Amino acid sequence: MDAKRTPLYDCHVEEGAKLVDFAGWQLPVQFSSILVEHEAVRQRGGLFDVSHMGRFRVKGPGALVSVLRAVSSDAASLEAGRCLYGLLLTEEAGIADDLFIYSPGGAPDELQLVVNAGNAAKDLALLMERATDAEWTDETDDTAMVALQGPAAQALLAPLTNLDLGAMRLHRFASGLVAGVEAMVSRTGYTGEDGFEIITAAGDGATLWRALRSAGAEPCGLGSRDVLRLEAAYPLWGHEIDEDTRPADVGLSFACRADVGGYIGGTAHQAYLDARPRKALVGLVMNSKRIARQGAEIRLAGDRVGAVTSGTYSPHCGTGIAMAHVANPERKSLKDRRAELIGAECVCVQGPTEIPATFVPLPFYRRS
């Protein structure tokens, strides 16, 4: 099957972006270079096409109840204009996906969800299976979505919109005009920087993109986005999180509400949490110029203790960094297992290559 094109595809071709197939979509991996685009986001304002993300809407008298049953976080606590991070769990508390829930009107009969692109079809099927008195609609192909990220994001966006961005706190959103087109703007992102994600009609996507570019936002691709999220220690599905990983393994128990019997996977999550996690998500810095990639074996004092989940070169750290799952044989808390490893030296084995590394705290980068 041919990869799908986002509504911004022509804009990317015009700017000479290097395009790749990602999760079934043709997307820019870079426009200039990963280092230049990383710098743009950390120091100014970078613009990403994230139209590949799945965007769903649920309506009906059972909309809220259906989401509460399907998703771990407390959607009932959402007021109008707020959004919330949550997890879609399996019956055994494995992470089927992570997502954001939006409450456009604060009413229980309508909610919006944004999910990972590669899981969109699976997620929608699961959400519909868990729904009662609610109708799900996939709006992905009818909309475009961009992320404007960086310390200058608000200054770049403010002249183009009638929304009060200064009053919009983290995980808040509002609908209004941006560059003359109707859009929903949220103070969210996946880079570790301040910024906004903007959803508009597919036909208005190019207008929005070009207006933001004219305002000074610098185009960025998937390559720099992955480096930025890894520096911020944000998990990526298929790497740090998957159906064999529980929230307690990776520090995501905060996204699981207290009434564990009220959502699928909740009871299993609580039982696993009480027994303490079997593995732990940790950080590593490389002590050489090499980079450890996903799957590299981690050896501590000669013993295999885990594997790298994501690895890259970090411009912020000036060396290779990685996140990894390591075994937790004594079933300590995630905090305690991480603490006992910090400062310990290990080896990442990638094929015939051994890369010396040191365990460090997460995240690698925190916005001041």
Q: Residues 254-280: what's their mean pLDDT?
A: 97
Residues written for the chain = 368
Q: How far apart (Å, rounded) are the C-alpha atoms in residues 103 and 90?
A: 24
Q: Residues 99-108: what's their mean pLDDT?
A: 93
Domain that holds residue 333: 277-368
Instruction: Take residue 167 and report the two structure tokens written for it.
Output: 């009053």
Token look-up 């075994």 returns: 327
Q: Quick one: DSSP state of residue 179?
A: T
Q: How far apart (Å, rounded) are the C-alpha atoms in residues 280 and 247?
A: 10
User: Which residue from 71, 147, 128, 130 is spatially nearest to 103, judged by alpha carbons?
Assistant: 71
* Same-domain status, 170 and 22: yes
CATH of the domain at 208: 3.30.1360.120
Asked, for residue 255, whether it belongs to a domain, the answer is no
Q: What is the pTM for the complete model shown?
A: 0.97
User: Which residue from 39, 37, 41 is spatially nearest to 15, judged by alpha carbons?
Assistant: 37
For residues 179 and 211, the answer to whether their CB atoms sit within 8 Å is yes
Say whether pLDDT at 368 is over 90: no
Q: At what angle do helices 34-43 and 222-231 cross, to 10 degrees?
A: 50
* Same-domain status, 210 and 321: no
* Same-domain status, 226 and 281: no
- Predicted confidence band of residue 302 (pLDDT cuts 50, 70, 90): very high
* Same-domain status, 288 and 162: no
Q: How many domains does the chain have?
A: 2
- Predicted confidence band of residue 135 (pLDDT cuts 50, 70, 90): very high
Token look-up 């769903």 returns: 56
For residues 70 and 127, the answer to whether their CB atoms sit within 8 Å is yes
- Domain termination site, one of 204, 230, 256: 230
Asked, for residue 34, whether it belongs to a domain, the answer is yes
* Same-domain status, 186 and 302: no
Say whether pLDDT at 269 is over 70: yes
CATH of the domain at 298: 2.40.30.110
pLDDT tens track for 9-38: 999 999 999 999 999 999 999 999 999 999
Secondary structure of residue 147 in the 3-state scheme = strand
Ramachandran angles phi, psi of 291, nearest 5°: -120, 130
* Same-domain status, 35 and 149: yes
